[in-house]
Amino acid sequence: MEIDLKKIRMLSKKKWDENWKFRSFLKGYDITIEELDAIVHKFYEQVSSEIDCTVCANCCKQVTPVLDQEDIERLSDSTGISISQFKKQYLVEDEDGEGFTFNRRPCPFLKNNLCTQYYCRPKACESFPHIHKPEFVFRLINVVENCSICPIVFNVYEYLKGEIWHHDDLETLVFILDKNG
């Protein structure tokens, strides 16, 4: 398992084309969404149990989550400042018009690799790296992009490539799933 961020960035860059080819492979692979999710979730459980996100915190340094009004209200309340002051001090409108993002990176609430607003963090932060959620196949663009940011995503995607890319039948996948727990 690779946890060194410099190596992960370098390997992700080197494997960029391969990762996109694997994405295309998965989009057309003859497997149900639920079966693929089960395999990905097993890898996620294994990898995430071995990685301490507070050692890395790279998502807080590199990703700009989109905050909705509920996120803003929770953070505003937690910081003790008005919503308008919170927006002025910490946020900019998202370029896609979906909400707001923090006005700088790393996240202004990251201190010593810990979130000072952990219990009221935005929903996008709470669910990152999103690979434990259902319907993995519909988030593959973000998965490929997040391989260079998150050691969990990088390792899960590598394990997934290693286990199913060249297997041609569902029986093999069922065996893999059974073997992994």
> What residue numbers bound the domain in which 163 lies?
5-59+130-179
43 and 15 housed in the same domain:
yes
Residues 134 and 113 in one domain: no
Q: pLDDT of 93-152, one tens digit each?
A: 988 888 899 999 999 999 999 999 999 999 999 999 999 999 999 999 999 999 999 999
Q: What residues pair up with 102 in beta bridges, in sequence order?
A: 91
Confidence of residue 178 (pLDDT cuts 50, 70, 90): low
Domain-embedded: residue 125: no
Mean pLDDT value across residues 22-51 = 93
Q: How far is CA 96 from CA 99, 101, 117, 135, in A?
A: 8, 11, 25, 23
89, 113: one domain:
yes
Residue 167 confidence (pLDDT) above 90: no
One domain for residues 95 and 175: no
**Among 96, 120, 144, residue at a domain's last position:** 120
Band of residue 161 on the pLDDT scale cut at 50, 70, 90:
very high
Structural domains of the chain, count:
2
Q: Are residues 91 and 107 in the same domain?
A: yes
Query: Is there a single domain that holds both residue 74 and residue 53?
Result: no
**pTM for this model (two decimals):** 0.86
For 86-105, write each residue's pLDDT tens digit.
999 999 998 888 889 999 99
Give CA separation, 61 vs 86, 135, 143, 149, 160, in Å: 20, 26, 17, 9, 26
Q: Looking at the structure, tell me whether residues 18 and 54 fall in a common domain.
A: yes
Is 162 part of any domain? yes
Phi, then psi, of 31 in degrees rounded to 5: -150, 145
The reply to whether 109 falls in a domain is yes
Task: Say whether both 45 and 18 belong to one domain.
Answer: yes
> Whats the size of the chain, residue-wise?
181
Same domain, 112 and 87: yes
